[in-house]
């Protein structure tokens, strides 16, 4: 088992953030040093800030300068990635920050961002339409469409989580931890037995690790006086055999990930995590679910190649899994309205089911359905471009409503 991330949340200013990020880097180093005796592999270290819309005195024209400053300071402090979210958007000024997303991506290769499309139980249509527009603009920054890896639209996601690009910070400085625990799941599934026996074995194995991580993190909190927000129990894949959630689902009994029954097995794993969250005396943050980022898992990518995945099936799994339709490769000519329609479906699920979800959509310039992606990045496994329907909600409908709430 590895640690996917150590994420420190800090409040930055409009300028002069050297001391803030030096402190954040120190927190990262301390937490890492205490955890690496037991978990020598920490995939990434991360900094997450408060939303841009909450930084005093910042205007949209200054975002590029701020991103460059944070980039320089993070690199100098040994922090791998940072997330500088847009946050919630209530008015036209906030929408101007959404329009800075391509600037954020251009000004730093280690910057991530997100926009929250729901506020107080309402879906903001204006925000979703603007985000869809920006997804298409971001897709054209590079020939492979890579940069949408670093942006998502979210709904119902609470602050101080461990995973990017979904995180946003609020409150005092603190840290959270993300896991890479799929190898532990696979090892316990392969021992055999019925689903009850496998469940009990996974629970015991995960419980021991989670209680140890939580204990160490609380000790660090007490020693250095920085808040420990919690650990995200989510199963996050990485494109290796041992960290493939698709492989885990197949070992549990699916002939191929994506066949009928995948929803049941997803619910099975999610329920194990939810019960651990309920029963263990540990602090948790984030999704506590099963993550299905198509481009980050070789078995999911293979199932997509074989035609077993679609946007619709991934939305269906979102009803019981961790984080929503994630890292979906789409044709470069997909329409703004179709992107917005997918985001609306995700937001509706999040509100109706009262759970956190995101949409991370990756249109690939000049690529059509069925053609392959050509990424060269250690987090990715290449696969075919999924189908777009070339039909969506009408522009009239999307523009007629500024926001909507399910009563």
Q: How far apart are CA 44 and CA 214, in angstroms?
A: 19
Q: Are strands 174-180 and 151-155 parallel, antiparallel or unpaired?
A: unpaired
Residue 279: inside a domain:
yes
The three-class DSSP label of residue 177 is strand
Contact assessment for residue 350 and residue 320, using Cβ atoms and an 8 Å cutoff: no
Domain span at 280: 180-323+373-405
Q: How far apart are CA 284 and CA 357, in angstroms?
A: 17
pLDDT tens-place string over residues 56-67: 999 999 999 999
- Give residue 90's pLDDT: 82
Specify the residue for token string 């099975």: 268
- Give residue 92's pLDDT: 82
Residue 248: inside a domain:
yes
Residue 91: band (very low, low, confident or very high) from pLDDT cuts 50, 70, 90 = confident
Across the range 169-192, mean pLDDT stands at 98
pTM above 0.95, yes or no: yes
Residue 129: inside a domain:
no
Using a 10 angstrom Cβ sphere, with 0-12 exposed, 13-18 middle and 19 or more buried, the burial of residue 202 is buried
The string over 207-244, giving b where at least 16 C-beta atoms fall within 10 Å of a residue's C-beta and e elsewhere, is eebbeebbebbeebbeeeebebbbbbbbbbbbbeeebb
- Give residue 271's pLDDT: 98
Residue 394: band (very low, low, confident or very high) from pLDDT cuts 50, 70, 90 = very high
pLDDT tens-place string over residues 244-301: 999 999 999 999 999 999 999 999 999 999 999 999 999 999 999 999 999 999 999 9
The three-class DSSP label of residue 179 is strand
Across the range 172-178, mean pLDDT stands at 99
Q: How far apart are CA 316 and CA 313, in angstroms?
A: 5
Residue 34: inside a domain:
no
Residue 172: inside a domain:
no
Specify the residue for token string 């997803």: 266
- Give residue 322's pLDDT: 79
Residue 157: inside a domain:
no
Count of domains observed in the chain: 1
Vertex 300: Cα angle to 296 and 303 (nearest 5): 150
Across the range 109-125, mean pLDDT stands at 96
Residue 284: inside a domain:
yes
Residue 367: inside a domain:
no
């Amino acid at each position: 088992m590895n640690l996917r991330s150590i994420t420190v949340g800090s409040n930055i200013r409009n300028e002069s953030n050297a001391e803030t990020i030096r402190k954040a880097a120190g927190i990262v180093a301390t937490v890492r040093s205490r955890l690496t005796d037991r978990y020598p592999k920490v995939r990434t270290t991360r900094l997450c800030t408060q939303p841009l819309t909450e930084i005093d005195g910042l205007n949209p024209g200054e975002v590029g300068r701020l991103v460059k400053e944070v980039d320089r300071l993070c690199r100098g402090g040994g922090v791998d990635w940072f997330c500088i979210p847009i946050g919630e958007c209530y008015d036209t000024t906030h929408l101007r920050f959404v329009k800075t997303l391509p600037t954020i991506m251009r000004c730093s290769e280690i910057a991530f961002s997100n926009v929250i499309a729901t506020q107080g139980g309402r879906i903001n249509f204006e925000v979703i339409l603007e985000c869809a527009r920006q997804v298409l603009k971001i897709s054209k920054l590079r020939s492979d469409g890579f940069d949408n890896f670093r942006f998502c639209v979210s709904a119902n996601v609470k602050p101080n989580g461990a995973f990017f690009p979904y995180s946003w910070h609020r409150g005092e400085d603190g840290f959270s931890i993300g896991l890479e625990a799929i190898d532990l799941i696979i090892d316990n599934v392969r021992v055999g037995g019925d689903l009850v026996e496998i469940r009990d074995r996974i629970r015991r194995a995960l419980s021991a690790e989670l209680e140890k991580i939580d204990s160490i993190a609380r000790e660090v909190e007490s020693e250095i006086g920085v808040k420990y927000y919690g650990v995200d129990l989510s199963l996050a894949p990485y494109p290796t055999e041992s960290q493939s959630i698709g492989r885990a689902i197949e070992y549990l009994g699916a002939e191929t990930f994506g066949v009928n029954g995948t929803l049941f097995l997803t619910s099975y794993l999610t329920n194990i995590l939810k019960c651990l969250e309920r029963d263990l005396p540990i602090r948790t943050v984030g999704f506590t679910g099963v993550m299905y980022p198509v481009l980050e898992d070789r078995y999911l990518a293979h199932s997509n190649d074989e035609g077993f995945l679609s946007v619709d099936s991934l939305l269906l799994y979102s009803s019981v899994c961790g984080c929503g339709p994630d890292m979906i490769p789409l044709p470069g000519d997909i329409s703004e309205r179709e992107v917005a329609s997918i985001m609306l479906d995700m937001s509706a699920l999040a509100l109706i089911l009262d759970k956190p979800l995101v949409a991370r959509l990756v249109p690939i310039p000049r690529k059509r359905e069925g053609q392959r992606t050509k990424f060269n990045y250690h987090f990715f496994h290449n696969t075919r471009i999924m189908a777009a329907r070339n039909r969506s909600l009408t522009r009239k409908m999307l523009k007629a409503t500024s926001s909507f709430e399910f009563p």
